[in-house]
Structure 1
Amino acid sequence: MIATLEYARILDESEALGQMILRSEQASAYIEARRAMEEDQEAQMLIKAFNHIKMQYEDVQRFGRYHPDYNEIMRDVRKTKREMDMNSLVAAFKIEERKLQQLLDEVSIIIADSVSEQVIAPRGTSGGGCGCGSGGGCGCKVG
């Protein structure tokens, strides 16, 4: 019974932490940037164009350089991605997305480290590792 009550308390506190994150400046800025990007017709057109060329790219990848349209598709992918990334609303969204991810990474690290230094938390951009969670098994720098 005690373990069940403790588990319920941990879940309640986790929910409260999630709500605090949702009310944070980073989450608010992320939500606003996403909304602005989703409501902008030009940004949506660029995203749709990129997703379309990305599907073609994935098809070309099956054959690599031997695909007859390899060079053209590769050039189109780079051009389309650059156009999408240069859109001010897409760029602003990506910046806010990285900031929110950094906050989530930092919270994960704090929680993991509070349990034990041996607990592995994704270290993403804020911790220097790749964030794979394999404990360095992939060859990344842990911690």
Structure 2
Amino acid sequence: MMMTDEWINIIENAEELTAMLFSSEAVAQYRRAYDEVYSDAELAISIKGFTEMKERYEEVQRFGKYHPDYNRVMKSIRVQKRALDLNEQIATLRVAENDVQSILDGIGSLLAKSVSDAVKVPAGSVFVSDSSCATGCGTGGGCSCSA
């Protein structure tokens, strides 16, 4: 790909958009929440333990209920996940992540639609769920997509 003035302009605008995102309140809240979660030594240990248990869970899942540690691992992963889910710092981080993701989804949707309505955007985007094809054509729903 040859670098043209047009591409240089696009890259400069992308860098400007990135700088705007980094200076936004949503990203600032995300960074604060992230720092709060990962600077808490006790919480970091809990997250590490959960990550290790998740690896054990994936190993047990290969064999299902026939694995000798199946019941213990299944109970332990649920207990650890519940404890993390109920942690206020983690809940705040998840809300902040969702807020930043919503902004990124909106930017992606705007960019895609500015090129063409036919350009695909991620299916998880809230902007896609409002379209007539939100459930996809293979779900048996009332999709009105035109092929």
Shift of 1:72: 1.4
Greater helix share, structure number? 1
CA distance in 2, matches of 1:79, 1:138: 36
Q: Residues 105 and 123 of structure 1 are in contact (CA less than 8 Å); yes or no, is this contact kept in structure 2?
A: no
CA 1:123–1:46: 2 relative to 1, 3 Å? same
Q: Deviation above 4 Å: which 4+ runs of structure 1?
A: 136-141
Q: Distance in 1 between matches of 2:65 and 2:19?
A: 49
Cα 1:52/1:17, change in 2 over 3 Å: same
The answer for unaligned runs of 5 or more in structure 2 is: 130-135
Q: SS of the counterpart of 1:104?
A: helix
CA distance in 2, matches of 1:42, 1:88: 14
Q: How high is the TM-score relative to the length of structure 2? A: 0.83
Q: Deviations over 1:103-129 (max 9, x none)?
A: 100110011101110011114242255
Alignment identity in percent?
36
* Distance (whole Å) between structure 2 residues aligned to residue 122 and residue 63 of structure 1: 33
Paired amino acid for 2:87: N
Aligned to 1:111: 111
Q: How many residues align?
A: 135
Partner of 2:53: 53
Contact 1:43 1:89 in 2 (8 A): no
TM-score, normalization: structure 1? 0.85
Runs (5+) with no aligned partner, structure 1: 130-135
Q: Equivalences for 1:1-143 in 2 at 5 Å?
A: 4-129=4-129, 136=136
